[in-house]
Chains A and B, each alone.
Chain A
Amino acid sequence: MTGSPARAAASPGAGEEAASQARLTAEFEALLAEGETVEPRDWMPDGYRRMLIRQIAQHAHSEIIGMQPEGAWLTRAPSLHRKSVLLAKVQDEAGHGLYLYSAAETLGVDRAELLAALHRGQQRYAATFNHPALTWADTGAVAWLTDGAAVINQAPLCHTSYGPYARAMRRVCQEEAFHVRQGYDLMKALCEGTPAQKAMAQDAVDRWWLPAVALMFGPPDTEAAGGDAKTAALGAAVSRRAIAWGIKRHTNDELRQRFVDHCVPQAERLGLTLPDPGIRWNEERGHYDFGPVDWELYRGALGDDTHTARQRLAHRVAAHEDGAWVREAAAAYAARQSGADTAGTSTEAVA
């Protein structure tokens, strides 16, 4: 987009403002259509900026909250090899959170604001993580299925229209793909172990399959998908906008299908049964059919106000509050070192 009129952030006179906005918007959309990326200093529509902030923040929060179900098993990992692998994974997630908060910061918000919004319950994270991780096998199922769904969701974001987000996602996706392999490997070891180990693996898959299929991809976002017509229509409108802006590349249902097609043969190799009697190969479509998600039932069972959801947020808030004195000390020390005022340091801020 370098050299384009949209790149030179204009400050039009009051009279011409509306016309100028329309021109800038048209140019912006034309450049996106050519597959150019948008960079932080480029002009962009407010709606585009808001949509990105919301999406990147939700993604960053998901990484940070997503550390909890697995992090809780670090002290109980059943071999030192698995302890190392899980530590590396949780460490990667913290890193992903940091890249993504940094990408969001290029849009004019700061991490402290985003975390505060998360802590107040005003910004969301992937609802999948509101499921409890009940056994060691859950750490494998989460890595294989939830991260597997994330990779499919996120791979197209490596080419999303906003440059800093796309670049962050390239690093994230590489590491996520590795986590999926590790999750599969963990499940494989359990399936090849004692009957009790295999039963633990099957139980975890029984509980994590639907959250991955349903929540990692979201509700249908095409009118054709039927179901709750109003929700589908709203989802479709948001999705169309996101696709037009190059923030999103595929519909939720396209990605969901891709995920199911990926997982079914893997589950067969593991000797695990995916808990959906509707799964069968459809020769005509060249895809696996699978049962419809009962969204009404699912939403009812998984509101924001479940025990685990409260626990996730309370854990995060407690960590933040307990660490306030440390961040204050670090900020005070940094201020003394630079001899300058600290207002404006952006390290997760004081308070």
Chain B
Amino acid sequence: MTETVTGPARQGTDAALARYAVRLGDDALVLAQQLCGWITRAPTIEEDLALSNIALDLVGHARTLLALGGRLDGTGRTEDDFAFLRTEREFTNALLVEIPDGDFAGTVARQLAYTHHAVLLYEALAASTDPELAAFAVRAAKEVAYHRRHADDWVVRLGLGTAESARRMRAGLERVWPCTAELFEEDALVRGLTAAGAVPAPGPLRERWHEEVAAVLKRAGLPLPAPKWHATGGRDGLHTEAFGPLVAELQSVHRQFPGGTW
């Protein structure tokens, strides 16, 4: 990942990298939006605090990644242009972060899948040929490592807690697991960037992710789900029906005041 590319090739990579950064930014933004929905409703005050802390980090990641997208694609769009002025079909987050998670166990299951993926990805992106993306990834990997620990701890607590918590945890895992494969999807964009050394290949990440989450679930006495189907489409802007209301809520105030400054 060290070769310097110049000229039109560089521009092509920048445009592709912009789309890649926006995908990750959308993942962070939509997941933060979901966690915001927990705050004041969490099972303990400690969890209100923990989930708001995690959401705060994720909004920070989204801001960096979306702004980077706007610089790299040459449009000069700001983080807020991406967040508040795109339509549903223009968001490219993975479906994992947008599906309703049902209950706290569903949230924990989603956090388990997302955080293990994000730490592995960001650690690998620290070696990206793009210096801004690499610098961001170094910082973000450290933050998400805390979120991963929070998720792991809850998976184990709920898995080994009571019969009800174990049942809910199994149901939560079943609910979100069909959406995990999409995190490692290797479409033309990813293949091109991988070949250019700008981003890591998803295959090896997926293998490590699988080993890690399987180990956590084993500690928690929970079965690793083996879904018979895999959701896909988020990276192409093909979302679930739940996504429209989420975006409407996210953008409502911003869109009510055209030309507003905040």
Contact = CB atoms under 8 A, between A and B. Distances in A.
Interface string B120-161: 000000000000000000000000000000000000111011
B260 to A, nearest CB: 5
Nearest to B44: A348
B162 to A, nearest CB: 5
Contacts of A197: 257, 260-261
A67 B40 contact: yes
A82 B45 CA distance: 23
B192 interface: no
Contact of A325 (B53, B168, B262): B168
A81 B29 CA distance: 12
Residue among A80, A94, A194, A332 facing the most chain B CB atoms (10 A cut-off): A80
Contact of A193 (B41, B156, B158, B261): B261
Interface string B1-45: 000000000000000000000000000010011001101111111
B261 A192 contact: yes
A266 interface: no
A185 to B, nearest CB: 11
A14 interface: no
A111 to B, nearest CB: 8
Interface of chain A, helix or strand or loop or mixed?
Answer: helix
Taking residues whose C-beta sits less than 8 angstroms from the other chain, chain A's interface range is 35 or more
Contacts of B47: 323, 326
Contacts of B80: 79-80
Interface stretch (B55-63, B92-100, B235-243): B55-63
A94 B53 CA distance: 11
B63 A80 contact: yes
B257 A193 contact: yes
Contacts of B249: 75-76
A78 B254 contact: yes
Contacts of B156: 333
B59 A83 contact: yes
Contact of B56 (A88, A319, A330): A88
Interface string B229-262: 0000000000000000000011011100111111
A187 B84 CA distance: 21
A28 B248 CA distance: 60
Contact of A84 (B60, B66, B161): B60
B48 interface: yes
A73 to B, nearest CB: 8
Contacts of A316: 40
B49 A347 contact: no
Contact of B36 (A87, A326, A336): A87
A333 B168 CA distance: 15
A192 B48 CA distance: 33
A94 B36 CA distance: 14
B52 interface: yes
Contacts of A329: 157-158, 161-162, 164-165
A216 interface: no
Contact of B40 (A68, A76, A84): A68
A197 B261 CA distance: 9
A78 B40 contact: no
Contacts of A91: 48-49, 52-53, 56
Contacts of B261: 189, 192-194, 197
B184 interface: no
A78 B253 contact: yes
B257 A330 contact: no
Given A74-B39, A88-B56, A82 B262 contact: yes
Given A75-B33, A194-B257, A328 B161 contact: yes
Contacts of B109: none
Contact of B259 (A67, A101, A194, A200): A194
Contacts of B36: 74-75, 83, 87
Nearest to A137: B253
B262 A81 contact: yes
Contact of A87 (B56, B63, B260): B56
7 contacts: A67-B40, A83-B32, A90-B39, A91-B48, A325-B168, A326-B165, A336-B160
Q: Which A-B residue pairs are the 8 nearest by beta carbons?
A: A323-B43, A329-B161, A329-B165, A326-B43, A79-B262, A74-B36, A91-B52, A94-B49
